[in-house]
Amino acid sequence: MERFDVLIVGAGAVGCAAARELSRYRLRIGVLEKEYDVAAGTSGRNSAVVHAGFNNAPGSLMAQLCVEGSRGFGALCRELDVPLVRTGKVLVSFSDGDTETLRGLIARGERNGCEGLRLLDADELRALVPGIGGIAGMLSPRTSVFDPFLYAVALAENAAANGAAFFFGAEVLSLRRENGLFTAETPRGDFSAPVLVNAAGLASARIAAMAGAGGYRIYPCRGEYLIFEGGADLPAVPVYPAPRKGIGGLGVHLTPTTEGDVLVGPSAEYLDDPEDTGSTAAVQARLADEAVRLLPALAGRRPIASFCGIRAKQAPPGEGGFRDFVIRSEEAVPGLIDLIGIESPGLTASAPIARRVAGLVGRLIPLTEDPYFDPIHRFPPRFRELDDETRARLIAEDPAWGEIVCRCRLVTRREIADALNNPLGVRTLTALKYRTRAATGRCQSGYCLARIADVWRQELGLQPEELTLRGPGSELFAAPDRSPAL
């Protein structure tokens, strides 16, 4: 049995942010994650937008924490070396009713503390986003896009560098509380602590119930996306339709990524199965139609990939909209801190949520600042972002910098090798994709997979058949027949 001061269930952005925030203090922190990397759930499957905070009800936790998160996000990404681009965001009106909705959003945003929101006439709208449909628009100048994978990885690696321990493949199967200690049973053994932070996303109601706090319910709501390769005719600014009531999301939007692709989505569809991350032909066709309505230039373009993310909604089907985040120290179960219904803008709000968690932990156990806490995190260099001089110097030092493994994203053998030796010890193809962006471009691994397997074999001395997509059960290569020839 491993003993900690605080156990965190779930290594999504929220669990990782909580681990990093708590690592400022002299605490033994353990993070239990059922999958084989961070951001394997909703945190790796979303629009990756730092929202400004005008969508949420004034006075709600969602509004407060979104605005607080948005204000601090740039500084946080600089500390953690996470790509962030301040693109601004445009909302498009197709009718007078939509324009009225946009006026209402500006008023709401101003009450929430958002700065610089304003209406755009049709000319201003098309100057900002050439080729866009619609009759008017709204500008949110502070909205940004960022890399959600590297965000979670950086939070976790920084927490680990400051002493937090991460356990992957450690699904919490049961919880019991005896003599003021929670004990979590996992396939990797038992873990115990007096404080348990439930950051299990879609499973948060189940974990709360296991710990003795019933009464929560999460309604999974799937959002599908298409990914288009970026181009000069695609927007460099996120473009959203004016929101419609009761859809449970923000509507199908076009969102540039920090890699230069454009996401189209998400849909909103309530499901029974929180793990059903499949894409469907019918929804993809609808997404393509809605995207063309926003940007006619997309007509006839083919996406390079699709994916989906699942919202952890507290609002049941039919109700639509958003219910507020629950961030609560459970009086009935002392030591249990529940984070329930952390849907959008949960990424934007993740650092403020983590600070609230630390505040709640401080009421349960004494917190002493760790004078050795180091907030700075750095990733290995990204070859495609370097100037020619730096590239030449690195190649002269180590020829692995000069061998391109992924042509679509210009990723070198050195970067793949560094990513395989990442500080969290995570070794799946998805972990490499998150960390280097290899295999995420137009060829979707057709060119680079065999080369990645070769680096894997040489760096780690492992066989290709041991390389998995996301952990055991998702092996990418069949083992050769090694039985003796007859």
Ligand X SMILES: Cc1cc2nc3c(=O)[nH]c(=O)nc-3n(C[C@H](O)[C@H](O)[C@H](O)COP(=O)(O)OP(=O)(O)OC[C@H]3O[C@@H](n4cnc5c(N)ncnc54)[C@H](O)[C@@H]3O)c2cc1C
Q: Tokens 């459970």 label which residue?
A: 330
Quote the Cα angle for 417-446-435, to 5°: 35
Query: Which residue, 268 or 400, is less far from ligand X as judged by CB?
Result: 268
Applying CB under 6 A, does 344 fall inside the site for ligand X? Answer: yes
Site map 6..25 versus ligand X, x via CB under 6 A: ---xxxxxxx----------
Contact region for ligand X (CB under 6 A) — 91-99, 339-347, 376-384, 401-409?
339-347
Rounded to a whole number of angstroms, the distance between the first and last alpha carbons of the chain is 49
Task: Please say whether the dihedral angle defined by the alpha carbons of residues 365, 369, 372 and 378, taken in this order, is positive or negative.
Answer: positive
Q: How far is the CB of 337 from ligand X (least distance, A)?
A: 13
Site residues for ligand X, 381-420, by CB under 6 A, read none
Residue 230 Cβ, how far from ligand X at the closest point, in Å? 18
Q: Is 32 a binder of ligand X (CB under 6 A)? A: yes
Out of 105, 159, 203, 467, point to the residue binding ligand X (CB under 6 A): 203
Closest CA to 91 of 230, 255, 226, 233: 255
Please pick, from the candidates 8, 40, 357, 455, the single residue that binds ligand X as defined by CB under 6 A: 40
142 binds ligand X (CB under 6 A): no
C-alpha pair distances (Å), 106 with each of 28, 32, 119, 405 = 44, 41, 8, 47
Binding mask 220-259 for ligand X (x = CB under 6 A): ---x------------------------------------
* 43 counts as binding ligand X under rule CB under 6 A: yes
- In 3D space, the residue among 449, 472, 467 whose CA is nearest the CA of residue 457 turns out to be 467
Q: Of 44-52, 88-96, 375-383, 439-447, which segment contacts ligand X by CB under 6 A?
A: 44-52
Q: Is 171 exposed, middle or buried (0-12, 13-18, 19+ CB in 10 A)?
A: middle
Q: State the alpha helices, DSSP H only, in 319-363.
A: 350-362
> Using CA atoms in the order 37, 42, 47, 49, what is the torsion angle rounded to 10 degrees?
-80
- Of all residues in this chain, which one has the CB nearest to ligand X in the complex? 346
Burial classification of residue 230, based on how many CB atoms lie within 10 Å of its CB (0-12 exposed, 13-18 middle, 19 or more buried): middle
Q: Which is nearer to ligand X, 242 or 310 (CB)?
A: 310
Q: What are the start-end ranges of the H helices in 113-216?
A: 122-128, 148-161, 204-211
Phi and psi torsions of 423, nearest 5°: -60, -20
Count of residues in contact with ligand X, rule CB under 6 A: 40
Position among 52, 343, 361, 440 found at the interface with ligand X (CB under 6 A) = 343
Residue of the chain from 311, 377, 409, 435 that contacts ligand X (CB under 6 A): 311
Per CB under 6 A, residues contacting ligand X are 9-15, 32-35, 40-43, 46-49, 51, 171-172, 199-203, 207, 223, 266, 309-311, 342-348
